[in-house]
Amino acid sequence: MCGIVGLFSPGDPQRVWDQEQWRAMLAALSHRGPDGQGAHVEPGVFLGHARLAVLDLSAAGKQPMFSRDQRYIISFNGEIYNFRLLRQELTRRGHDFLTQTDTEVLLAAWVEWGAACVGRLDGIFAFAVFDRQERTLFLVRDHLGVKPLFYWKSPQLLAFASEPLAMFGSVIPLPEVNAEDLDGYFTYNYLPGSGSGLKNLRQLPPGHLLKISPQEECLTRYWQLSCPATPLPWSRELAERFGELVQRCVTGQLVSDAPLGLFLSGGLDSTAVALAAWRAGRHPLAYCLGFEQAGFDETPAASAFASHLGLALQGEVFFWSESEIRTTLEAMRELQADASCFPTFQLSRRARRDCTVILAGDGGDELLAGYDTYKAGELTPWIRRIPEILRKSALAMTPWLPADRQRYSPRLVLERLLSSAQAGPRRDHASFRRIFSDTLKQRLYEPEFWQAVRGQDPVGDYVARMDEVPAERSYLTARQYADLHHFLPAVLAKVDRMSMAHGLEVRVPLLSRELVEFCFQLPDEAKRQGGKGKRILRDLLADRVPPGHLQRPKAGFLPPVDGWFRHPGPMFGVFREHLEWARNHGVGWLRWHEVEQVWEEHQQGRLNAGFALLGILQFINWSGHARACGRRTQDSLNNLKS
């Protein structure tokens, strides 16, 4: 994994940027590539690369990399797992290779097949290829968006980068905030779709290729998940095929010339990945982060399974202090307020002491219906049958329920169940994920902001994803499909940013394209049974894990968010400091006196607003990072004038 950045001026092929400008952009990504930086600059084009060496650790793997005939230049972030098979085929076609990198193979594949080569790639990637002969730039992102790629364009200029704020401050002034994006963020605590929070700045959608030349601009979807109208019949043979696929996908991602390890929790997904790695003959170091709070710590289960396989487990306890909060916030430079950013940051830092590459179990919940939100969707139709007066009475009683003792407290779950059931069929699933209700938005949004977005429907955008699934398929499959395209990208963004803050590459074998396509052919009975998800995975692990391992309730990697903002502790000082900064620096969009009132009501137990307060904290933090880019813009202008 690495960081990529670049500029392209299709309308002015003679434009040149000075060294100070492009070096500032490259420096902003240095944490993603601690093993070296490279740049190529010629009239109209700049391509930059911050390298994290994983394959062929020698200087031969330096990027940007040229094709043998010097026509193409590539800046590549990611891993191509089938690069050795592609290399064999390309060798038969007359290509020869000077390195052992997948980058050189990818570049040769582009020379041989052009943009059509992306359909042959098995991996996670975001890359830019510049055709010097045709003066054309191509941007490509992997099928599910595991690797990030942002781009900004005007009529005369296009910029791209692995992280959005790297583009701004030296060449391009910071854009204005996009109100629709911001409303989507507050709705879910993440940015849905291709949003970025800033105008004219978008994420390249997963499975897409963008072509830019002086003559044209074309965005093409090269991969779309197929969801057949009729699922495969449930059978033992189907379960065996699933097991073979998991084994093949994990084995294929064990290739690395740098040290490789595992994230291992007590959950089924990381257990399956660890088991497959062990069966492939590897015994990597395993890493787990525990919590002091009862009910939050998965270390005992992870330790039991590591001992079962004979793996060495490196365990640490989540450390909570104002310094740790600020350090993590410094790495959170996007509108992303997943509370598990904090433990993921610490776990990645620990793993990076020994490893450069990690295998993780992300994606299993979306593929095999493991989230408790799927259970909620089974309950809401029954809740709607309860008379409205009784539902309102139950909602009025929620302040009396416990609020801090679990990841998702009984009070929070009941409130979300009742409100999502009220949203109606199909809208209930997306509504269960909401952080800001319309009532809270109207209370906290500045009047102009509220008027600008009150006609938007972020829940409807989520539901629209379900409509892409054939009507013959189940509501469960439709919800999984929507989660895969709407919610999963935010999970992947969290993992990427928190791990790459330490120069750590995280691979997600359960999201291999072949396995994803297979899982969306599964019938419902292969996924959920008896109120539990991942049936087919449970069957796979049944005779291969310690007794009781499969009976553990689902936990997740979430700290006690409501308690953070309710009980005096490290978060109190950080949040108050950020709140005062927002007021003193004229940060708009929210009514800050109302935010403070909501916080006070949360402390008193009158509201359950911990996740909303976390979203507000990260919005303020992001605003501070963005303003720093604006200051760099002004400094650059002053330097040019002088």
Average pLDDT of the chain is 90
Residue 599 to residue 220: CA distance in whole angstroms? 45
**Domains, the chain:** 2-176+199-222 (3.60.20.10), 236-368+479-549 (3.40.50.620), 564-642 (no CATH)
* pLDDT at 638 exceeding the cut of 50: no
Backbone CA torsion sign across 123, 129, 131, 136: positive
DSSP reduced 3-state for 128:
strand
Nearest-angstrom CA–CA distance, 28 and 22: 10
Above pLDDT 70, what percent of the chain? 92
Both structure tokens of 193: 């779709």
Q: What is the full DSSP assignment across 476-509?
A: HHHHHHHHHHHTHHHHHHHHHHHHHTTT-EEE-G
Helices (H), ranges, 253-320: 268-279, 299-309
pLDDT higher than 70, residue 574:
yes
Which range has the worst mean pLDDT, 87-91, 189-193, 216-220, 636-640?
A: 636-640
pLDDT at 61: 73
Nearest to 87 by CA among 55, 54, 130: 55
User: b or e along 341-378 (b: 16 or more beta carbons within 10 Å of the residue's beta carbon)?
Assistant: bbbbbbbbbbbbeebbbbbbbbbbbbbbbbbbbbbbbe
Is a pLDDT exceeding 80 seen at residue 115? yes
| pLDDT(410) > 60 | yes
pLDDT beyond 60 at 176: yes
Reported as a pLDDT band with limits 50, 70 and 90, residue 18 is confident
pLDDT at position 636: 44
Mean pLDDT of the region 197-207: 96
**Given a cut of 70, is residue 449 above it in pLDDT?**
yes
- pLDDT 10s digits, 317-363: 898 899 999 999 999 999 999 999 999 999 999 999 999 999 999 99
Give the model's pLDDT for residue 264: 94
pLDDT of residue 270: 94
Residue 88's CB: how many other CB atoms inside 10 A? 11
Q: Treating both helix axes as pointing N-terminal to C-terminal, what angle do 388-396 and 410-423 enclose, rounded to 10 degrees?
A: 150
What's at 328, amino acid-wise?
T
